[in-house]
Chains A and B, each alone.
Chain A
Amino acid sequence: MDFTPTDEQHALAQAVSGALRRHGSPASTRGEAAAPPAHDAALWRALVDIGVPGLAWPEDDGGVGAGFTDLAVAATEVGRSGLQVPLAETVVAGSLVRALAPDDLRREVLGGLTDGSLLPVPALAEPLRAWSTTTSDVTATSSDQGWTVNGTKAPVRYAPAATHLVVTATTDDQLALFVVAQSSATTEEVDLDDAPATLLAQGETAEVALREALAIGGVVLCAEAVGAMDEALRLTTDYLRTRTQFGRPLASFQALTHRAADMYARLELARSATLFAAMVADEQPLDSDALLRARVVVDSAARLVGQEAVQMHGGIGVTAEHPVGHLTARLTSISRTWGDRRSRLSDLGTRIADHPNVPILR
C-alpha cells in the first residue's frame, strides 16, 4: 500500500487547476449566491479537452483508461477551485451504463462522455421521498413499442444540460434502471410523461449496480470535498494571520488556533480515507462498504471544516462575494448527495455483525 502520488498525477493536477482557472468563473467573483450553479459548457469542454471525464473508463469503451486515483486527483482540484462540474454525476451514470448497457449503447454513452458530445447524469431523487436506492414512485411500463416511464424526478442536478438520464423506476414491484434520452427539462425538475426508456436492469441486479455506482461516484465527491476543505482551511489560516482585532492578529487567540488545528486533523483523516477509497474503487470485486466508510469520515470533516471556516472569518464569511462560504455550501451539498451521514451509517450498521473488524491491508 502506497499513498504517494506519481509525477504524472502532479502534472494532471496542474493541468486541471490551470484549465479551471482559465475557463471557470466562481460565483463569488460575481457576488452571486452560493446556490448550485448551472452547467458551464465552456468549462466542461476545457476539462474534456484534457481528458478528465474519460479518466475512469477503459480505453475499450472509449475512455482514457487511467482509473480512480487519477480521477480523484482531478476532482480534488475541482473542489479547490470553488467551481462545480458534473464529474461525480457522470461517473455514476457512466458506471451504470458500463455495468448494465448493451455493447453499442455502452460505447456510445461512454465514448460521448469522454469526447464531450454526451452528458449522461443520474435522476434518482424524488420530491417528498426520503433517500432510497430501493424504492421509486416513478413507474415503468412495457408495450410493443418498448418501455415508457411516468413520474417526477427532482431535483436532478444538471438536468437542463443533460443528454441522457439514468432513472430509477418501479415495475412489477421491483426497482428498475432505465436510460432516458432527455432534451426537454429547463429546470432541475424532470417530469417524465410516457417518456420512452431503455431498460438497463431490474430487481437485485439493478439494486446492486446502483449501490456500486453510487459508492464509486461517492469517491469523486470525497475527493472534491478534500479539495474544498484544503482551500477553506488555507483561506482560514491566511485570515487568522492577517486579520487584526484588539490590536493583535487573530492567530494570537488560542480559542481560534486550536480549532484550526482540529480542522487540519479532520482534513488529514479525510484525505487518507479518500486516497484509500480511490484505490479501492479500482479493484474488483468492489468493497463498497470501504467507500461508504470513507464518505462517513469525509462527512464529519466537511461539516467541521465548513462550519468553522465561516465562523472564523466572521461576517465576511457569510457574504456572497467571499469564496469561503461558497466552499461551505458545496461541502454541505456533497455530504447530502446520494444519501447522508445517517443513511450511510445505518446502512453500514446493518452489516456490522458480519465482520470482527475492518482490515485495511489487502
Chain B
Amino acid sequence: MPEEARLTGMHLRLSPQDAAFQQRMRAYFTTEFPRELRHAAAAGQQLTPEDIRRSQSVLNDAGLAVPAWPTSWGGQDWSPLRMHIWNSEMRAAGVLPPLPFNTSMVGPVIAAFGSEELKARFLPQTASLEIWWCQGFSEPDAGSDLASLRTTAVRDGDHYVVNGQKIWTTLAQHADWMFALVRTDPAAPRKQAGISFLLLDMRSEGVTTRPIRTLDGDVEVNEVFFDDVRVPADQLVGEENKGWDYAKFLLGNERVGVADTGLIKLWLTDLKDHARQVRRGDGTLLDDPAVAVRFAELEAELMAIELTAVRVSGSSSDGRPDPASSILKLCGSQLQQDVLELAIDVAGPMALSWEHLEAVPGWASSSVPTYLNYRKATIYGGSSEVQRSIVATSILGLKG
C-alpha cells in the first residue's frame, strides 16, 4: 500500500511526502536563498524597495512566489498544509514573503476573472514584482462601508475617465500600478451593483500621491487623488459593474494573509530572547512567573490559531470567499496586538523613550511605536467589527 493511502482520516504526523516537502523548503530558504536578504529582515531592518523586489524575484525564479495561483500561471496546487509549511519555513528563515497586494490580492483576481489578454499582460510581472501593485479600495467616506465608494470612472471611447480619491493606500509611494474599485454606474439600484474593478498605471497623468504620517512617525499609507485620469478600457477586470464580487473574493484572501502565524511565531521567539536579556534580581525577566504566564497564554493562543489555519484553508475558491477566513483575521490580528503589547512590558522603562540611545536596544525603543502602528491590524483588511458581521450573517445565519 502506498504511504499516502495509509494516512487517511485524522492523523498528526506529516506524511513522508509532506515531511520531504518541509525539508526541501527548509533547505531552500536557509541555504539557497540570498543570505543578505534574509539577515536584514531577521535583524528587524527595513528592506529597501529594491531589496523587496529582488527578494520576490528570487522567490519567483524558484517557483515559490505564487504557489496559490492557478498552475498555468505559476501556481503549485499545494494542499493548505503545504501552503502552511511554505509560509512557516519562509518566515522561520527570515525571508520576506511575497508582496500580498500582488500575490494574494490582484493576482488571484486577474487569474480568476480577467481576460486572457489581461492575464498574459499582467500575471508574470505581478508574480515577479516587476509591477508593484497598490490597493485602491478605501475612500474618505468609504471605510468599513466600502461599497459606498464614490470615485467615478466614466466611459469615454476607448478609455475610462477616473475622478475621485482613495485613502490608506499602503506603499503607494513605491507602487507602479493600482487595482482600484471605481463607480461605473451611479444609478444602479444597489450601491454594490455599480462598482467595477480597474487597473491603472500610477504614472498616468492626473494621479497625485500624498503621504500620511502614522503614530509611529513612519509613512506607510497615502492618499491618492485622481483628476481626469484616462485609463484604457481594456484594463477593466471582468465585467463592468461586477467589481464588488471580485472585491469580496479578494478580501477573503486578504483576511487569511493577516493571520500570518509564521510572523507571530517569529515575534514571540524574539520577544523571549529579549526578556532573557533583561535583568531582574539575580535572574532575568523570563524567570518572572507573571511574565512567563503571559508567554504561556500567547503560545497556547498561537497554537490554536495555527492549527485552525491548517484545519480550514480559508482561501477564496470557486469565486467565493470562505467565511472561515474571518475567524483567522479576527483572532490573528488580536494575537499580533497582544504580542506587541507584551513587548512593551518586556522593554519596561526602556520603552519610554523612542530615541535611538547607545545603551538601549532597538527592540526596546521601538516597542511603543510598533505597538501603536499595529493598532492598524484590527482595522485594515476589514475591521474586527466587519469580520464579526461576516461570521454572524454568513456562518451563524443571524440576519435582522
Give A contacts to B, CB under 8 Å.
Answer: 1-6, 8-9, 69, 233, 237, 240-241, 248-249, 251-254, 257-258, 260-262, 264-265, 268-273, 275-276, 278-280, 282-283, 290, 293-294, 296-297, 345-346, 348-350, 352-353, 356-358, 360-362
Is there an interface contact between A261 and B397, defined as CB atoms closer than 8 Å?
Answer: no
Q: How far is the CB of B214 from chain A (nearest CB, A)?
A: 27
* In the assembled complex, B310 has its CB within 8 A of some CB on chain A: yes
Report how far A4 CA is from B10 CA in the complex, Å. Answer: 5
When distances are taken between beta carbons in the complex, the residues of chain A under 8 Å from B396 are 233, 237, 257, 260-261, 264
Further pairs besides A272-B307, A356-B269: 7, Cβ < 8 Å: A252-B400, A260-B392, A265-B326, A297-B300, A297-B301, A345-B297, A352-B272
Within the complex, which residue of A1, A252, A271, A272 is in contact with B13, where a contact is CB–CB below 8 Å?
A1
Give B contacts to A, CB under 8 Å.
Answer: 7-14, 18, 22, 81, 84-85, 88, 265, 268-269, 272-273, 276, 286-287, 289, 292-293, 295-297, 299-308, 310-312, 324, 326-327, 330-331, 385, 387-389, 391-393, 395-400
When distances are taken between beta carbons in the complex, the residues of chain A under 8 Å from B388 are 257-258, 261-262
Q: How far is the CB of A169 from chain B (nearest CB, A)?
A: 29
Within the complex, which residue of B10, B13, B287 is in contact with A3, where a contact is CB–CB below 8 Å?
B10
Known: A69-B10, A360-B307. A251 touches B300 (CB 8 A): no
Q: Which residue of B lies closest to A281 (CB)?
A: B12
Q: Which residue of B lies closest to A257 (CB)?
A: B392
Is there an interface contact between A276 and B307, defined as CB atoms closer than 8 Å?
Answer: yes
Q: Which of B12, B84, B396, B399 is most buried by chain A, counting CB atoms within 10 A of its CB?
A: B12
When distances are taken between beta carbons in the complex, the residues of chain B under 8 Å from A275 are 10, 307, 311
Report how far A275 CA is from B304 CA in the complex, Å. Answer: 10
Within the complex, which residue of B85, B269, B276 is in contact with A353, where a contact is CB–CB below 8 Å?
B276
When distances are taken between beta carbons in the complex, the residues of chain B under 8 Å from A265 are 326-327, 330-331, 391
Could you show 12 A-B contacts with beta carbons less than 8 Å apart? Answer: A1-B310, A6-B8, A233-B396, A261-B395, A272-B307, A276-B12, A283-B12, A293-B303, A349-B289, A352-B299, A361-B84, A362-B12
Q: How far is the CB of B258 from chain A (nearest CB, A)?
A: 14
Q: How far is the CB of B273 from chain A (nearest CB, A)?
A: 8
Known: A257-B396, A258-B392, A297-B304. A349 touches B295 (CB 8 A): yes
Q: How far is the CB of A353 from chain B (nearest CB, A)?
A: 5
Q: Which of A237, A257, A265 is most buried by chain B, counting CB atoms within 10 A of its CB?
A: A265
When distances are taken between beta carbons in the complex, the residues of chain B under 8 Å from A348 are 292-293, 296, 299-300
Report how far A251 CA is from B391 CA in the complex, Å. Answer: 13
Report how far A279 CA is from B13 CA in the complex, Å. Answer: 9
Report how far A252 CA is from B38 CA in the complex, Å. Answer: 50
Is there an interface contact between B11 and A2, defined as CB atoms closer than 8 Å?
Answer: yes
Q: Which residue of B lies closest to A268 (CB)?
A: B327
Q: Which residue of B lies closest to A251 (CB)?
A: B398
Known: A1-B310, A280-B12. A353 touches B392 (CB 8 A): no
Is there an interface contact between A2 and B300, defined as CB atoms closer than 8 Å?
Answer: no
Known: A356-B272, A360-B307. A1 touches B12 (CB 8 A): yes
Q: Which residue of B lies closest to A292 (CB)?
A: B300
When distances are taken between beta carbons in the complex, the residues of chain B under 8 Å from A237 are 396-398
Is there an interface contact between A1 and B11, defined as CB atoms closer than 8 Å?
Answer: yes
Q: Which residue of A lies closest to B273 (CB)?
A: A356
When distances are taken between beta carbons in the complex, the residues of chain A under 8 Å from B307 are 272-273, 275-276, 360
When distances are taken between beta carbons in the complex, the residues of chain A under 8 Å from B387 are 261
When distances are taken between beta carbons in the complex, the residues of chain A under 8 Å from B395 are 261, 264
Report how far A95 CA is from B294 CA in the complex, Å. Answer: 31
Is there an interface contact between B292 and A251, defined as CB atoms closer than 8 Å?
Answer: no
Q: How far is the CB of A76 from chain B (nearest CB, A)?
A: 13
Known: A2-B11, A6-B9. A258 touches B300 (CB 8 A): no
Is there an interface contact between A251 and B399, defined as CB atoms closer than 8 Å?
Answer: yes
Q: Which residue of B lies closest to A70 (CB)?
A: B10
Report how far A282 CA is from B13 CA in the complex, Å. Answer: 11
Q: How far is the CB of B337 from chain A (nearest CB, A)?
A: 15
Q: How far is the CB of B310 from chain A (nearest CB, A)?
A: 6
When distances are taken between beta carbons in the complex, the residues of chain A under 8 Å from B9 are 2, 4-6, 8-9, 69
Is there an interface contact between B85 and A357, defined as CB atoms closer than 8 Å?
Answer: no
Known: A251-B399, A280-B12, A361-B85. A350 touches B292 (CB 8 A): yes
Report how far A38 CA is from B299 CA in the complex, Å. Answer: 37
Known: A241-B397, A258-B385, A264-B395. A5 touches B301 (CB 8 A): no
Is there an interface contact between B308 and A357, defined as CB atoms closer than 8 Å?
Answer: no
Within the complex, which residue of B265, B272, B300, B311 is in contact with A293, where a contact is CB–CB below 8 Å?
B300
Q: Which residue of B lies closest to A252 (CB)?
A: B400
Closest 9 CB pairs of A and B: A252-B400, A349-B292, A348-B296, A261-B391, A279-B12, A257-B392, A261-B388, A272-B307, A6-B9
Q: How far is the CB of A109 from chain B (nearest CB, A)?
A: 28
Known: A2-B10, A241-B397. A360 touches B306 (CB 8 A): yes
When distances are taken between beta carbons in the complex, the residues of chain B under 8 Å from A252 are 399-400
Is there an interface contact between A296 and B10, defined as CB atoms closer than 8 Å?
Answer: no
When distances are taken between beta carbons in the complex, the residues of chain B under 8 Å from A251 are 398-400
Q: How far is the CB of A26 from chain B (nearest CB, A)?
A: 24
Report how far A114 CA is from B262 CA in the complex, Å. Answer: 43
Known: A261-B392, A265-B327, A357-B268. A296 touches B306 (CB 8 A): no
When distances are taken between beta carbons in the complex, the residues of chain A under 8 Å from B292 are 346, 348-350, 352-353
Q: Which of B7, B276, B295 is most buried by chain A, counting CB atoms within 10 A of its CB?
A: B295
Is there an interface contact between A254 and B389, defined as CB atoms closer than 8 Å?
Answer: yes
Is there an interface contact between B304 and A269, defined as CB atoms closer than 8 Å?
Answer: yes
Is there an interface contact between B286 and A352, defined as CB atoms closer than 8 Å?
Answer: yes
Is there an interface contact between A6 and B296, defined as CB atoms closer than 8 Å?
Answer: no
Q: Which residue of A lies closest to B387 (CB)?
A: A261
When distances are taken between beta carbons in the complex, the residues of chain B under 8 Å from A346 are 289, 292-293
Q: Which residue of A lies closest to B295 (CB)?
A: A352
Q: Which residue of A lies closest to B10 (CB)?
A: A69
Report how far A69 CA is from B391 CA in the complex, Å. Answer: 28
Report how far A353 CA is from B300 CA in the complex, Å. Answer: 15
When distances are taken between beta carbons in the complex, the residues of chain B under 8 Å from A361 are 14, 22, 84-85, 88
Q: How far is the CB of A78 from chain B (nearest CB, A)?
A: 19
Is there an interface contact between B293 and A345, defined as CB atoms closer than 8 Å?
Answer: yes
When distances are taken between beta carbons in the complex, the residues of chain A under 8 Å from B324 are 268
When distances are taken between beta carbons in the complex, the residues of chain A under 8 Å from B273 are 356
Within the complex, which residue of B268, B293, B304 is in contact with A349, where a contact is CB–CB below 8 Å?
B293
When distances are taken between beta carbons in the complex, the residues of chain B under 8 Å from A264 are 327, 391, 395-396
When distances are taken between beta carbons in the complex, the residues of chain A under 8 Å from B326 are 265
Q: Which of B7, B22, B331 is most buried by chain A, counting CB atoms within 10 A of its CB?
A: B331
When distances are taken between beta carbons in the complex, the residues of chain A under 8 Å from B385 are 258
Q: How far is the CB of B11 from chain A (nearest CB, A)?
A: 5
Report how far A2 CA is from B81 CA in the complex, Å. Answer: 8
When distances are taken between beta carbons in the complex, the residues of chain A under 8 Å from B389 are 254, 257-258, 261
